[in-house]
Each structure stands twice: as C-alpha cells, then as structure tokens.
Amino acid sequence: MFQSRFFERQFPDDNAAFEKVELVDAVQNDREKSLLHMREVMLAKPFDAGVFIGGMEGVEQEFDMFRHLQPNIPVFPIASTGAAASIIYDRDGDLQHKHPELRDEISYLTLMRDLIAPN
C-alpha cells in the first residue's frame, strides 16, 4: 500500500494490518502535489495488470495515469464493486465488450483467476 507522508497525522490504525506500507515524501506541504508525486511513484512500478476496485476521490485519475504510464498492461475496473470502478468501466465501451463479467460478477476470487491467472 502506498501513502503520502502529507497525510501522516491522519493515517488509520488499519495500516498496521498491511504487510508492506510504502511511504512517499510530501511535496512542499501541498496536498495535490503530494498526491501526484505518490501516484507517480506508485504507478511507475512494474505491473502485470491494473485492478481497480470500488474507490473514491482520485481513483479515476489513478486509472488514467496507469493507462498513460503502463499502456500495454491490461486494466480491470471491477464495476460490480461500484463507486469509481463502475464509472471507469461505464465510460469504456471496449472494456465492456471484452469483459462483460466485470459489470456483475461478485465471485471475486473466480473473477481474478479468470482475468489474471496464466492459461
């Protein structure tokens, strides 16, 4: 999990449950610059796939950045989780055509196996 040090005083106690939390330095004590920097660091890592689940503020920007920085990597917004993932899915007719299962499937383990498991 990635988090910006800009929010360090607000980190939830749940962070302790994650095996790895990568903290990214704040930029000029500026929220937007710090978030952009964190996303750039996070999305520059190598990926096999991008999976977007639910989400709130910023997820659509992260999706767009991911597609820009990782243009040849498959993306899977799981629309059945609602929120930003559903918005992302609904605006992409190609994804809807290729992966209609992302709209309604709620057996997420099966869905992940079908989407990203090697054949």
**What is the chain's mean pLDDT, rounded?**
93
Q: Which two tokens stand for residue 114?
A: 């079908």
CA dihedral 60, 73, 47, 10 (to 10 degrees): 0
Place of tokens 């990782």: 70
Query: What residue type is assigned to position 73 of the chain?
Result: I
Alpha helices in 44-100 (DSSP H): 59-69, 83-90, 93-98
- Residue 56: pLDDT band (50, 70, 90) is confident
- Contact between 88 and 113 under an 8 Å Cβ cutoff? The reply is no
- Residue 8: pLDDT band (50, 70, 90) is very high
Query: What residue type is assigned to position 83 of the chain?
Result: A
- Contact between 113 and 107 under an 8 Å Cβ cutoff? The reply is no
101 Cβ neighbours under 8 A, 6+ residues apart = 111, 114
Q: Which two tokens stand for residue 110?
A: 């099966």
Per-residue pLDDT at 118 exceeds 80:
no
